[in-house]
Amino acid sequence: MDSIRIQGGMALQGKVRVQGSKNASLPILAATLLVGESSFIRNCPRIADVYSMVSLLKSLGCSVHWQETGVFVDSSQVRRAEMPREAVKGMRSSLCLLGALIGRCSEVAMEHPGGCVIGERPIDLHLSALGQMGVEFVEEEGLLKAFSDRLHGAVVKLPFPSVGATENVILAGVMADGDTVLEGAAMEPEISALCIFLEHCGGWIEGIGSSRLVIHGGRRLYGTDFTVPADRIVAGTYLFGCIGAGGSVFLEHAPEEEMQAVLEAAVQMGGRVCTSREGIYVQAPGRPASIELVTAPYPGFPTDLQSVVLAVETRGKGCSHIEERIFENRFRIVEELKKMGASIEMIGSKSVFIHGKETLRGACVEAKELRGGAALVVAGLMAEGETVVGGCPYIYRGYENISRDFRELGARVTSV
C-alpha cells in the first residue's frame, strides 16, 4: 500500500491509543545484543523500521519471535559482526548497532547507514567518541570496519548533543573496562529509556536524564522484561492533527511528561489541553493561532514535529514563522503543501514564513521522508475535497497504522 487517500473537512472526535516509541525501541533492540540471553520487549511498535532492525538482528544470529504484546529476542548465539548491505542502506538507526556490536564482538563491518534524506547527518561524532574508547576504524571496499582489542572507558565530550552518538557511547560503555564519562549527552527521553533498560539488565549508569552520564562498564548483563514507553512524536502528530482539522480527541497513554514543549506550542496555537496519567485531551480552536517556533534538542521543540506544525499553520490566523536548527533539509514538504494552495515563503534553507489561509484544497502529493509524510496526511484532513498522499512507505517506517488511527477519530482515510 503505497498511498493514503483522505476525504478532508471532518473534525476529529474520540480517542486513540498511542503506540510504543520508535526512537526508544530501536536502540533497546540493539542493546539486546549485549545481553547474551533472552529479553522480552513489550509495547514494541510494529513498524517498518522495527521490522528492519529485527531482520538485522536475525542476520547476526539472534532468535527473534513476535508475541501479541511484544517481541522476544535471544542473542545467545550471536557470532558474526557483519551486517547485510541492503538492510543497512535503508535504515539510519542501524548505526546504533555499531556500539552494540563493538561491545559484544569487538568488531563490526557495515555499509554507511541510510534512512530519510533530511540532511548530511555525518557520523564523525560517533567515530570520534568510540575512537576515544579504543575503537579503530578503517574503510575497505565500501565498508566501514571497526575493531577493538580492548574497549576501555574514557572521558568523552560531545560538541553537539547527538542522539545517535550518545546511544553508541552508552552501548559500548556498558561493556568497556572501567568507567566512561559522557559530557554533552543528548537528553531525549529515548536515551533515558535505553539507560533504564540496561539497568534492568544489570548495568549501572549515573545521571540518567541529564547531559552528563557516567557509565560503569564491565558488569554482567542478563535478560529482562521491559516495556517501551509511548511514542511522543506519534502523540504530537495526532495532537496537532486535531488542532488543524478541528474537534476534540483523547490520546491514550500519551507521555505528557515528555511533551512539555509540544504542549506549550499547542496552547500557543489556541488548543485547550488537559493532561492526566491516562493521557492527553486536546480541544481544537476554530482556526489555529499563529506561532513563532524554533526547533531544538530536547527539552526544546522536537524537529520531528516541525513539519506537522508547518502543515497545520497553513490554515492558521495570520503569519507564522518556523526556524529549523537541527537538520538542514527539513522543509521538503513546502512544495507539496503549495500544491494544496498553501502560502509559504522560504527564507534561506532553515526558515519559513507561513501565511495562513481559510482553506486548503485536496491534491495529489508525495511523501519524501517520514515526518513530512505524516504532516501531509494531516494537511489532507484539513483540506477540502480529496487528497492522495504517495510515498507512504516512508510513513510506515514510524507509524503502525496512521490511517486506522485517524479513522478511529472519525476521519475518512484509507490506505490504497
Condensed to tens digits (0 to 9), the pLDDT of residues 323-376 reads: 999 987 789 999 999 999 999 999 998 999 999 999 999 999 999 999 999 999
Q: What is the pLDDT of residue 139?
A: 84
Cα separation of 212 and 166, whole Å? 10
Of the listed 44, 96, 116, 242, which one is catalytic? 116
Cβ pair 54, 90 in contact under 8 A: no
Spell out the residues 6+ positions from residue 179 whose beta carbon is closer than 8 angstroms to its own: 153, 214, 215, 216, 217
**Cell numbers of 238, please?**
495526532
Q: Which residues pair with 241 in a beta bridge?
A: none
Q: Please, what is the average pLDDT of the chain?
A: 93
Cα separation of 268 and 291, whole Å? 7
Angle value at C-alpha 340, between 334 and 344, nearest 5 degrees: 40
Cα separation of 94 and 333, whole Å? 25
Cα separation of 28 and 93, whole Å? 11
Q: In this structure, what DSSP letter does residue 143 have? A: E
Active site residue 116: yes
Spell out the residues 6+ positions from residue 95 whose beta carbon is closer than 8 angstroms to its own: 113, 123, 126, 164, 168
Cβ pair 159, 138 in contact under 8 A: no
Condensed to tens digits (0 to 9), the pLDDT of residues 48-83 reads: 999 999 999 998 999 999 999 999 999 999 977 777
Cα separation of 327 and 305, whole Å? 12
Cα separation of 159 and 177, whole Å? 24
Query: Per-10-residue mean pLDDT for the chain, 416 residues long?
Result: 94 98 97 96 97 92 96 92 63 78 90 51 84 92 86 97 96 98 98 98 98 97 98 98 98 97 98 97 96 97 97 97 90 97 95 97 97 98 98 96 98 96
Q: In this structure, what DSSP letter does residue 295 have? A: B
The CB density around residue 402, as the number of other CB atoms within 10 Å, is 24
Q: What is the pLDDT of residue 144?
A: 83
pTM value is 0.95
**DSSP-derived secondary structure for 108-122:** EEEPPP----SS---
Q: What is the pLDDT of residue 112?
A: 66
CA 396, distance to chain mean position in Å, is: 12
**Cell numbers of 253, please?**
497513554
Q: What is the pLDDT of residue 115?
A: 43
Q: Which amino acid would we find at residue 365?
A: V
Q: What is the pLDDT of residue 89?
A: 56
Spell out the residues 6+ positions from residue 362 whose beta carbon is closer than 8 angstroms to its own: 6, 8, 340, 380, 383, 384, 385, 386, 387
179 SS3 class:
strand
Residue with cell 547531559: 211
